[in-house]
Amino acid sequence: GESAVRGRVRSLEAKVSAQQQEIAGLQGQLSQREAAVSRLELRNAALTASLEEKEHQIQTMESRIARLKQRLKEANSYSPKPKSVADAVRGGYALEALGLTPAPPSSGWHLDGEEDSPLVPGLDEFKDRLRDETAAPLLGMVESFVTAFVHKKPKLGDYAMVHHFLGAMENPFRSHRLWREADDDDVAETIDALEAFILGDEKVNASVMQSMEVAHAEQDHLLSRRLWCLQFIQPQHLDVKKVHATHPALPLARKMVTRITQVRSPQEKLECIFRAARIIFRMLNEPSSSSSSGRAQPASADDFLPLFILTVLKAQPQHLCAHLEFIATFRRPSQLAGERHYYLVQLQTAVAFIEHMDGAAVSMDLEEFDEKLREREQLWESR
């Protein structure tokens, strides 16, 4: 009857209650497991981030090691010892102060293509980093400066704007996560690359160099005329040894001198000067077959400067005065020092010698020099 129905209802209610409790228990377990999964996901995310950070650090270290290896390779150039160069610089750029390291016996070093290696270390890597999405603010600052600088139609006197901007950008780069692991040398290399990025810009360079070439038009015209008219000068007139005058590496030095006027940024131009000088030094320090010991004899001022003068004379670079002024003016003062500055001074010395060369300055009969020079000058005027 009725009591049986009520009992059955109570039984069913009890079962429902039990099922609800079981469901609540399962929901509790599910919540615990979801919490555990969430903790694991957070831990996995932390581990993934840590792993990515470690990978970034490894990549940074590998990149730094690669740059250091490249610097070591460039340092192994048989050029003057750093201390000797420093002493020479402090001593008023006296070539006699140079002490050259002998080159190991080798052949074909001039064929290794080293002169074609990048002129600004880290420039390609710098450009790649600027393309990173996180570097957009930095890229925006650089592009804004370049746009404003081009709009100003920069001239010789505007070098201070570039130097000031480069100095102001050091902290933004240093604090950015892409340069988080960078040491002082890395930051200096980054600012160097930034200088090349700005002054190597086609529009910036065209505007600055146009101003330079106008300012030095007369001097460059006279130098071009002088270089062309002095092409009768041969190695023996500068007391250059035959073994050096016919060395297959000498055209590489001329190539680097010519390249000064082809590249854009001041450090690229300065690096061309350095490499031209380095090629000459390596050539001078090769073991000579005429040496009784079969070992290289240290090169002297009497060997290097005539070869450097001959190299410039035969290369006949155009607008060289304007390019030398561009280097001296727009290269950051902190970087225009040491060995590369020393060679810049030597190039300036070579140019001055060419500008004032006469028969008394070379191993040539005075009358013969004057006669050949007049003939070349007449040909120049009739061109």
The tens digit of pLDDT for each residue in 16-45 reads: 888 888 888 888 888 888 888 888 888 888
Cα dist from 347 to 84, 102, 172, whole Å: 19, 23, 37
In angstroms, rounded to a whole number, what is the distance separating the alpha carbons of residues 174 and 187? 7
Inform me whether the pLDDT recorded for 9 exceeds 90: no
Q: List CB contacts of 58: < 8 A, sequence separation 6 or more.
A: none
- Helix/strand/coil (H, E, C) string of the chain? CHHHHHHHHHHHHHHHHHHHHHHHHHHHHHHHHHHHHHHHHHHHHHHHHHHHHHHHHHHHHHHHHHHHHHHHHHHCCCCECHHHHHHHHHCCCCHHHCCECCCCCCCCHHHCCHHHCCCCCCHHHHHHHHCCHHHHHHHHHHHHHHHHHHHCCCCHHHHHHHHHHHHHCHHHHHHCHHHCCCCHHHHHHHHHHHHHHHHCCHHHHHHHHHHHHHHCHHHHHHHHHHHHHCCCCCHHHHCCCHHHHCCCCHHHHHHHHHHCCCCCCHHHHHHHHHHHHHHHHHHHCCCCCCCCCCCCCCCCHHHHHHHHHHHHHHHCCCCHHHHHHHHHHHCCCCCCCHHHHHHHHHHHHHHHHHHHCCHHHCCCCHHHHHHHHHHHHHHHHHC
The least confident of 61-65, 317-321, 345-349 is 61-65
The band of 183, judged by pLDDT with boundaries at 50, 70 and 90, is confident
| Residue type present at position 153 | K
The least confident of 44-48, 79-83, 325-329, 350-354 is 79-83
- Looking at residue 75, its pLDDT comes to 53
Select the highest-mean-pLDDT range: 1-15, 174-188, 300-314, 363-377. Answer: 363-377
- Looking at residue 344, its pLDDT comes to 95
The least confident of 40-54, 122-136, 155-169, 242-256 is 40-54
Within 10 angstroms of residue 193's Cβ, the number of other Cβ atoms is: 24
- Looking at residue 206, its pLDDT comes to 93
- Looking at residue 382, its pLDDT comes to 92
Could you report the per-residue pLDDT of 50-85, keeping only the tens digit for each?
888 778 777 777 777 776 676 666 555 444 444 444
Inform me whether the pLDDT recorded for 100 exceeds 70: no
The band of 220, judged by pLDDT with boundaries at 50, 70 and 90, is very high
For the segment 110-116, the average pLDDT, to the nearest whole number, is: 59
| Residue type present at position 69 | K
Phi-psi region of 316 (alpha: psi -120 to 50; beta: other; left: phi over 0): left
Q: Report the predicted TM-score, pTM, of the whole model to 2 decimal places.
A: 0.74
In angstroms, rounded to a whole number, what is the distance separating the alpha carbons of residues 256 and 279? 9
CB 257 within 8 Å of CB 272? yes
Inform me whether the pLDDT recorded for 236 exceeds 80: yes
Helix 136-151 with 202-215: angle, nearest 10 deg: 30
Could you report the per-residue pLDDT of 300-316, keeping only the tens digit for each?
657 899 999 999 999 99
Proportion of the chain above pLDDT 90, given as a percent: 56
Main-chain dihedrals φ then ψ at residue 80, nearest 5 degrees: -60, 150
For the segment 258-267, the average pLDDT, to the nearest whole number, is: 95
- Looking at residue 70, its pLDDT comes to 65
- Looking at residue 71, its pLDDT comes to 61
Mean pLDDT of the chain: 84
Q: Give the sign of the dihedral formed by CA 197, CA 126, CA 276, CA 305.
A: positive
Proportion of the chain above pLDDT 70, given as a percent: 83
In angstroms, rounded to a whole number, what is the distance separating the alpha carbons of residues 286 and 291? 11
